[in-house]
Amino acid sequence: MRVGYARLATRLVSLSQWCAATVLSMARAENIRAVVQGVRYDARSSFLRGCADAPQAVRRVLGNGSANWCTESGVDLSQRNDWRDEGDVEPPDDALAALEIIDHETAARVGEGVAVLSIGGDHAITHPIMQAMARVHREMTIVHFDAHPDLYDELDGDRLSHACPFARIMEEHLASRLIQVGVRTSTPHQREQAVRFGVDTYETRSWDGMLPALSGNVYLSIDVDVLDPAFAPGVSHHEPGGLDVRQLLGALTQVAESDCTIVGADIVEINPGRDINDMTAMVGAKLVREVLGMMLS
């Protein structure tokens, strides 16, 4: 079965490489500045699966008529023709094949002037997305919102676990700076890793709500469990004591008002199977609107 997945990955990668220039050329011709992609992958989740269903759940509440498409700053996304939804990447469970497919599918969409917003999926997807981003954008700063640092060298023998992506990203020098906000469950090992990689960590217990100065290319990675479970119950890992939605939106506003360019983002770890009345899916939809609006501003 692993051989079959490897062959599938090779074929899809070849197709992706062949059409990438055409896709980006068409996007530029149509003045597309941002694209949305779902990434239906949760095979590296350590506790519960179900995050692969999040792209459909978020899209469903985005389009069910309960809210409009306007951002808080007044951008009406329904009236903009400079973004589009590219549908879903649906990789197999096999880790190496899946991560290669995510990398190359993202590479077919990212380019100078075209930002990519990904709806996960578990946090393992950020590593291959950043591999694709780093081939186009240099010296990126990652602003990472999460209850967990996701800096394990390995978890239960798995170096591609959703608990490890930022260790892989920093080892591979895919980003020049990593800022983590909302962390409240860091192990001694992960604290050592944060020191090793020079991470700027803002723990929930002591964070004053302010981000450091930002400039250049910025990638946003939002694990929805950065929020207290009272505001986002539909996640796999409930970690009490988190941010509220307004605190997270306030931090995003600081990013939007800084001297930086948002080149990409992901919103991950929503698990619809644990949600209550679509509360978390609606939070995800809100974040999609706000981040997309930031990319287009």
Least confident range of 19-28, 76-85, 159-168, 221-230: 19-28
Q: Which of 163, 190, 269 is nearest to 225 (CA)?
A: 269
Q: Which amino acid is at 152?
A: Y
CB-CB contact of 222 with 267 (8 Å): yes
Average pLDDT over residues 141-167: 95
Closest CA to 158 of 182, 122, 194: 122
- Average pLDDT over the chain, rounded to an integer: 91
Task: List pLDDT tens digits, range 184-237.
Answer: 999 999 999 999 999 999 999 999 999 999 999 999 999 999 999 999 999 999
Residue 30: pLDDT band (50, 70, 90) is: confident
Alpha-carbon span 144 to 199, nearest angstrom:
11
Res. 264: pLDDT tops 60: yes
pTM: 0.90
Residue range 107-130: average pLDDT?
94
Contact 32, 22 (CB under 8 A): no
**Closest by alpha carbon to 226, among 269, 170, 196?**
269
Give all domains of the chain, ordered by start, each with its CATH number: 2-296 (3.40.800.10)
